[in-house]
Chains A and B, each alone.
Chain A
Amino acid sequence: MSEEHHINYVKVWAWLVGLLCVSVAGPMFEIKVVTLITAFGIAGVKAYMVAKNFMHINIAPRFVAYMVTTGLVFMLLFFAGAAPDVMEPKGENWFKPGWHEVDIQGAEKELEEGIFFKDQVDH
C-alpha cells in the first residue's frame, strides 16, 4: 500500500536516541521547568516522530489521523472533567484524610478520631 518513501530510518532512530539523552540529562539542571520541557516536551516530539516516520500516519488516509486525535482529545476531556474533583484535596468544609501527606498512620489516626473537617485539624 505505501509508496517507496525515502526516509532514512536509521537517521530517525539516531535523532530519537539523541532526544532520549537530552531528556535524561534534563533533570540534572535541577530547574523544574527545564525538566518538564525535556521530559514531556521531548516525549511528545519523539511520539510524533515515531507516528510520522515509523507508523507512516502522514501517508495513511486522513481519517486515521482524525481517529487518533479524537482518542487523544477524549482523554483530555476526561482529565478536564475528573481533575477538579480528584485533584482537590480539600473543600469548604471537608478534606481528604491522607492527601496532605502520605502518612498512613496519620490518616488512620485522623479517621479514628473522626476528624473530617478542616477546623478540627491542628496542623
Chain B
Amino acid sequence: MRGPELERLYDEHAQPLYAFLLNLTRDEADTRDLLQEIFIKLARDEQLLAAVRDERAFLIRLAHNAAIDLVRRRGTRERTRENFAAESASPFAPASDLDENTFRNELATALAELPAEQRAVVHLKLWEGLTFEEIAAVLEIPPNTAASRYRYGLDKLRGRLRPLYEEIK
C-alpha cells in the first residue's frame, strides 16, 4: 500500500482503533505495538482492503484479533495484569472536574474488571456506536451473543457505579 493511502487510513481510523485496543490491553506500549502491527500488515498487503466494504469494521476486527493473539501469547503476564487493572492505563481522558474525574477512573476500573469479550462488546456498542449485528460481524459471534454480552457487561458496570452515579448526578 502506498504512503498517502496509508496516511489516510491512519488519520481516519487510528483514534478509534487506539481507544479500542487501549480498552482491551490497558497498556500503552502494547497498544502501540498492536497498532503498528496492523499498519505494517496493511502496508505489506495491498489487496487486504480490496474487497472490504466497511473499512472501520474490518480494521476493528484486525485489532480485536491482534489483541486476542497478544493475550494468548502473553498468557500469564496478561492474567497478572488483569488483576492489577485498576492501576492500568485508563481509556478515558482526564477531567478537570474532581467528581467527573472520579467517575471516569471508577468507570475505567469497572471496565477493566469485565471479561475481555464483554468489554469488547460494550466498547463497540457505547463508543463506536455499532449495532449488535455489526458487532456480531466484527467479532464473529452470533448477534444474540453480542446482545447478551452487552447486557451482562452493562449490568455489572451499573452495579459497580451506581453509588457514585447517584452521588454526583
A, B co-complexed? no
